[in-house]
Amino acid sequence: MKTEVKSMNKKNTNRTHKKLTKGIGKLKKFMKTTYPPGLHMGFAALWFLSLEGLCILIEKKTNVWIFNLKVAGGIVTLFWVLFYLRVIDEIKDYAYDKIYNPDRPLIAGLVNCRDLTFFLLGTALLVMVINWYISWVLLLIVLIDMIYGLMLLGVEKISAPIKNSLFLNMLVTYPVNIALSIYIYFFFLTQYNIKATPKGILVILSFALAFLHYEFSRKTSWPHHAQKGKRLYSEIIGAYGSSFLSLACALAAMLVAVSLVRPYSLSGFSAISGWLTLLPVLPAILGVVIFLQVRPLPRLQKGEAVMIPYAEAFLVLFYITLIVHAFVVNNVLFSFT
């Protein structure tokens, strides 16, 4: 009898191990296809550290930038919440992707809805555990963000205007992005035991505008370059309107950030690193210039989405220059607590 029980337990253990191994394999394939871990962990780190660094710059009560396990937890949180939102997009955009993005994992059969559900549950649990350790305030913020993201699945099913209107859809969905900047800001407040100030709103606004530059850039194309039926802002307000709206967001983001950094009031290396925060303007302007130049090109020469690499360069430089300036101006303290 005992032998039979041991045999059954061994079989159940082997079955569970096989399922777990298969699930991890699917997760790796999904991430490799749509969410490369190294790239997105780097992006999460840049976003987190640049926003926190800017907060320390404008808050005169502290000039010490602390790097500890909580900072690592905050970065990991950003990474997994962005993954969580990517999984939601995979489900939400199924009908659209069947036509315009047939290589998506869900469409291609690499994963199914059950797999994606497990990804969502596992990610949510991991994020909650991490933030339970950091702060209940941050746990609440990230929970609200994930719940709101999940609600978007139902909102688009019951509301045709939200589903079909690109600008209205962005208005409804963009708060999940803004909430992550709010998360980082409140991380800063709890980490340094500081009260919120109106300048915090400007920080969040600057980062929201910076990402909007990328959002508009990746969905801007000349009519003869665009795939028929593809959702583009340029289809609504025209290629000129969309490209200049993208540039306006970049310039506005820089204006707000520089007004907070105030390099004109600094001296020495601090002034130099402060003025370097203007550097991201260059790829933003260059992207629009190149976009205007490719208008005569035929469809086969890939004029579509030409602004994307320049928008990516803008975003990366926006983050990096703020991090560099924060390093130059502040004292850095590494801690393992």
pLDDT tens string 85-136: 999 999 888 877 887 778 888 888 888 889 899 999 999 999 999 999 999 9
pLDDT(160) > 90: no
Give the pLDDT band (50/70/90) at residue 12: low
pLDDT band at 4 (very low <50, low <70, confident <90, very high): low
Residue holding tokens 């950091």?
Answer: 134
* pLDDT of amino acid 16: 62
- Region 237-265: what's the mean pLDDT? 95
Contact between residue 254 and residue 278 where contact means Cβ atoms under 8 Å apart: yes
Question: Two tokens at 7?
Answer: 């045999």
Q: Under CATH, what is the fold of the domain 197-337?
A: Four Helix Bundle (Hemerythrin (Met), subunit A) (1.20.120)
Q: What pLDDT sits at residue 302?
A: 57
**Chain-centre distance of CA 254, in angstroms?**
18
Is 328 a residue whose pLDDT tops 90? Answer: yes
d(CA 95, CA 319): 34
Contact 244, 274 (CB under 8 A): no
CB-count exposure of residue 300 (10 Å: 0-12, 13-18, 19+): exposed
Structure-block tokens of residue 297: 């090109």
- Show me where the domains of the chain are located: 68-194, 197-337
In this predicted structure, the answer to whether residue 223 has a pLDDT above a threshold of 80 is yes
* Tokens coding 196: 């919120």
What is the band of 154 on the pLDDT scale with cuts at 50, 70, 90? confident
Tell me, what amino acid is at 288?
V
Which overall architecture, per CATH, does domain 68-194 show?
Answer: Orthogonal Bundle (1.10)
Which DSSP symbol is given to 263? G
Q: Are 246 and 311 in contact (CB under 8 A)?
A: yes
**305 dihedral zone (left: phi>0; alpha: psi -120 to 50; beta):** left
d(CA 301, CA 89): 29
Question: At residue 331, what are phi and psi to the nearest 5 degrees?
Answer: -85, 135
Query: In which element (H, E) is residue 46 found?
Result: helix 37-58
